[in-house]
Amino acid sequence: MVNILKKSYFLLIFILSSCGGGGGSTSSSGNIITPATDTTPSTFNFTDQNDVRRDQVITSNSITVVGINTATNISITGGTYSIAGGAYIASAGTVTNGQTITVRHTSSSSLETITNTILTIGGVGDTFSSTTRDRPIELVHDPSQFFVTGIPKKVYGYASGQNSDAINTYELIFSGLTLGTVSKKISIGADALAQSWWTSIQTWNATGEFDAPSITKNGEFIFFTAYDEHETLGVKDAIGFAENVGSIGAPNWLDEGIILQSVGEGPETPRTMDPSIFEDGTNFYLIFGSHAGGIYIADLNDGTKKLANSPNLTSTNQESSRFTKIANNLGENDPNPQNKLTGIEAAYLHKNGSFYYLFVNFGSCCSDLDSTYKVKVGRSSTITGPYLDKNGVSMIDGGGSDFDLSRGESRIIGPGHVGITDINGVTINNWIQDKITAFGGSTEIVTFHYYDGSQNGNSKLGANLLKWEDGWPVTGDLVVDTPNSFD
């Protein structure tokens, strides 16, 4: 029995010696060798992300650390990292084999811009990059009300200029099988509209591009903003107008000069942006304003189309009694709204029955997919207000009922700059006629610009059907849309 035990013991020793025992390795002399410390991981790769939104937190794919056998230093530049789903940190630390890592950073606030984050583990690193979206295309922006003219009747309007054009002309076309479309027509140069004065306003950035045109009902007169801004010197704006003594297809513009101008954008400044012209019989009115100063209305002379009172005093800081404030945005959800005057602009006035309806935009525009424009509406029995929303809140006090233009279409972002046109008598296709019939027979449409979420935020013009119920405007289906490019 003793011999058997001895043999078993020596056999066990032999087996352990042959296979290296329970750990380590042995040298030729039989000594156990401890494995060398390895802090160099296998290479790892992050997948770069393109076409990301601006100012967004961008998180990388997860990588797994392999190839090390002890705690190894980890550091990051230009972002933060998380180990195994833990909190994101920017300070250096250590990581062990088999742990997962993700990194993140905030994308650039500019378009077409790369942001880099470099993660290094034990001397091995990789860069995670995100690139913001390509610059969107401005197809139509800040459109005027559209008007019907000619035989056969056609529908035309104007919108802000781009690429050194002051103002662009557009036609709404209702042929085809379904949606109507938008056709770009004539581009108008700055000198044609305002040769006598535009360079005195655009002294810092002489783009020759004008904004937010408005028209008289027959399209004979066009009103617009010339605007300039300097990083340190501030902003200045002017509203001017011109008369077309030609035709829509062969225009001949007469420069009629400046109506109003302003400097700065303080809460007490009637800022001369986004003009809207309203004709009430033989009476003419100018509605204007942007941001903290609110929205104002002023009487115009029906003959000269300039201010009815002291027309030679074109600055809004002169004889301010000429301007009546009719709307403010005091900041939604602010417990003390008087402390927060915020974005409001793009006013449009329309009369239906015995009421005047004031449409304005709350929020911010001109940031494509990040735009927060939304339309509010109130009504009044007198043109100078007070304009009340459906809950009886005055628009001077920040009131305004929501006016739905997107109608559940998530791609329609930041709609605004509305205008209302009756297309009765215009030739339309059967699809649109069926839409009108199903909607109650109203031939009014409401036009607006928006940013197309399915097309990189390109700015477009849309038009919905419009009717009036219980004394308030109600939007119907989209019946006009803009193509993805103008060939």
Which CATH number covers residue 220? Answer: 2.115.10.20
- Residue 202 maps to a domain: yes
- 210 plus 72 within the same structural domain: no
Report how far apart, in Å, the C-alpha atoms of 263 and of each of 91, 228, 241, 256, 407 are: 47, 10, 19, 21, 38
204 in the same domain as 291: yes
pLDDT value, residue 394: 96
Which residue, 73, 98, 132, sits at the end of a domain? 132
368: DSSP letter = G
The pLDDT assigned to 335 comes to: 52
Q: What pLDDT does 10 receive?
A: 41
Q: What pLDDT is attached to residue 213?
A: 96
- 486 belongs to a structural domain: no
- Indicate whether 41 belongs to any domain: no
Residue 7 domain-assigned (yes or no): no
8 located within any domain? no
Residue positions counted in the chain = 487
CA 51, 52, 55 angle in degrees (round to 5)? 145
Distance CA 15, CA 20 (A): 9
In this structure, is residue 471 part of a structural domain?
yes
Residues 6+ apart with CB under 8 A from 226: 194, 197, 198, 201, 202, 210, 211, 237, 238, 240
Which of 94, 109, 132 is the last residue in one of the domains? 132
Domain-located, residue 57: yes
- Provide the CATH number for the domain around residue 113: 2.60.40.2410
**Residue 372 and residue 315 share a domain:** yes
Tokens representing 353 are 């029955």
Predicted confidence at residue 388, as pLDDT, reads: 98
Residues 88 and 164 in one domain: no
Task: Give the pLDDT confidence score for residue 332 in this predicted structure.
Answer: 58
Q: Do residue 283 and residue 431 come from a single domain?
A: yes
pTM above 0.95, yes or no: no
Cα three-residue angle 136-138-144, rounded to 5 degrees: 150
Per the CB < 8 A criterion, the answer to whether 441 and 482 are in contact is no
- Dist. CA 289–CA 327, nearest whole Å: 9
Residues 63 and 157 in one domain: no
CB 452 within 8 A of CB 458: yes
| Residues 116 and 254 reside in one and the same domain | no
CA 333 to chain CA centroid, nearest Å: 21
List the one residue out of 261, 327, 316, 260 whose CA is nearest residue 291. 327
Angle (CA) 82 83 86, round 5° = 70
| pLDDT < 70: residue spans in the chain | 1-31, 332-341
Task: Report DSSP letters for 243-304, one per residue.
Answer: EE-S-SSS--EEEEEEEEEEE---TT-----S-EEEEETTEEEEEE--GGG-EEEEEE-TTT
For residue 26, the model assigns a pLDDT of 55
Q: Give pLDDT, residue 19.
A: 46
What domain count does the chain have?
Answer: 2
Phi, psi of 198 (to 5 degrees): -65, -35
Q: What pLDDT was estimated at residue 84?
A: 96
Which pair of structure tokens corresponds to residue 3? 């011999």
Last residue of a domain, one of 104, 132, 160: 132
Q: Where are the beta strands (DSSP E) in 78-153?
A: 80-83, 93-95, 100-106, 114-121, 124-132, 147-149
Whether residues 439 and 307 fall in one domain: yes
Domain that holds residue 348: 147-481
Same domain for 221 and 84: no
| 114 and 213 co-located in one domain | no
Same domain, 321 and 390: yes
Claim to verify: residue 196 and residue 73 sit in the same structural domain: no
Q: Is residue 322 part of a domain?
A: yes
